[in-house]
């Protein structure tokens, strides 16, 4: 392939004659100030009749009641770094770098206290193509607040909290289950939220489905700042693997920045 170089060139996919590229592409390219794409991915191999968020553990999720310093551990010896992203007690975005140096425990760079964890992702490993060898957890007092499954490299938790000063505009939800279309068992999807300003938790929507649930909104669903979001699923009978996907845009609230 021929390589083209040009001094001072700007990589743009729009033309020079006043035409526009799609807004979604501009947001994904970080060309729209104070707009950020948010993708929510969740997976659980053993969803049963109990309604749970789609995440690494087949159980309900417990939120911290105060900002907590986490203990990071793996079920196997690891040599890697990972980034933990979440919110502090004021719901401001905070991150920390955790290093595993040939051991089963990781050391956080700053010992950041998290009130919410939105993701953990492996950012470097010793050998190209490798990922985490064991199950990595972020815990405090025996409670798991985030987890990376073996070899996955990042959390897959359909659990997200909106930062302070932002609103989250949800465009799409897709849920996939391993039960076949011919199954007599169905699953129920629940879009759950809670907000500290009202202290109310409720189900925004719920829907039965078999195998695939696909929701594309003409007008985005708005979650205000500090809202906790969970995509929950349960079965009428049986145990099935479930993957959940959400896609939206995080937008700074007018007048806050």
Residues of the chain with pLDDT under 70: 1-19, 255-257
Instruction: State residue 28 phi and psi, 5-degree precision.
Output: -60, -30
Beta strand 52-53 with 187-195 is: unpaired
Locate CATH 2.60.120.20 in the chain.
35-59+159-252
pLDDT of residue 257: 54
Say whether domain 35-59+159-252 belongs to CATH 3.40.50.10260. Answer: no
- List, for residues 120-148, the tens digit of each pLDDT value: 999 999 888 899 999 999 999 999 999 99
pLDDT of residue 237: 96
Of 236, 245, 172, 241, give the one whose Cα is nearest residue 209. 236
Q: How many CB atoms lie within 10 A of CB 65?
A: 7
Report the helix count and the strand count for the chain, using DSSP H and E: 1, 16
CA 165 to chain centre: 19
**Cα torsion angle, 198, 49, 144, 174, sign:** negative
What tokens does 137 get?
A: 């957890």
pLDDT of residue 163: 97
pLDDT of residue 197: 85
């Amino acid at each position: 392939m021929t390589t083209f170089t040009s001094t001072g060139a700007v990589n743009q996919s729009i033309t020079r004659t006043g035409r526009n590229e799609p807004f979604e592409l501009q947001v994904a390219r970080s060309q729209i100030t104070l707009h950020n794409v948010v993708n929510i991915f969740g997976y659980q191999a053993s969803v049963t009749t109990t309604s749970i968020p789609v995440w690494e553990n087949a159980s309900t999720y417990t939120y911290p009641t105060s900002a907590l310093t986490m203990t990071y551990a793996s079920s196997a010896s690891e040599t890697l770094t990972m980034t933990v992203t979440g919110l502090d007690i004021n719901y401001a975005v905070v991150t920390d770098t955790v290093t595993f140096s040939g051991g089963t425990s990781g050391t956080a760079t700053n010992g950041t206290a998290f009130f919410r964890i939105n993701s953990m992702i492996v950012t470097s490993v010793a050998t190209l193509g490798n990922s985490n060898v064991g199950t990595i957890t972020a815990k405090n007092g025996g409670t798991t607040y985030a987890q990376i499954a073996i070899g996955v490299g990042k959390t897959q938790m359909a659990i997200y909290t909106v930062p302070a000063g932002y609103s989250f505009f949800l465009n799409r939800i897709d849920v996939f289950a391993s039960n076949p279309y011919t199954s007599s068992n169905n699953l129920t999807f629940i879009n759950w939220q809670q907000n500290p300003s009202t202290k109310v938790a409720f189900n925004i929507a719920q829907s039965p489905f078999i195998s695939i649930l696909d929701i594309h909104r003409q007008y985005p669903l708005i979650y205000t700042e500090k809202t906790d979001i969970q995509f929950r699923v349960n079965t009428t009978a049986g145990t099935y693997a479930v993957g959940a996907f959400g896609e939206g845009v995080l937008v700074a609230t007018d007048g806050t920045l």
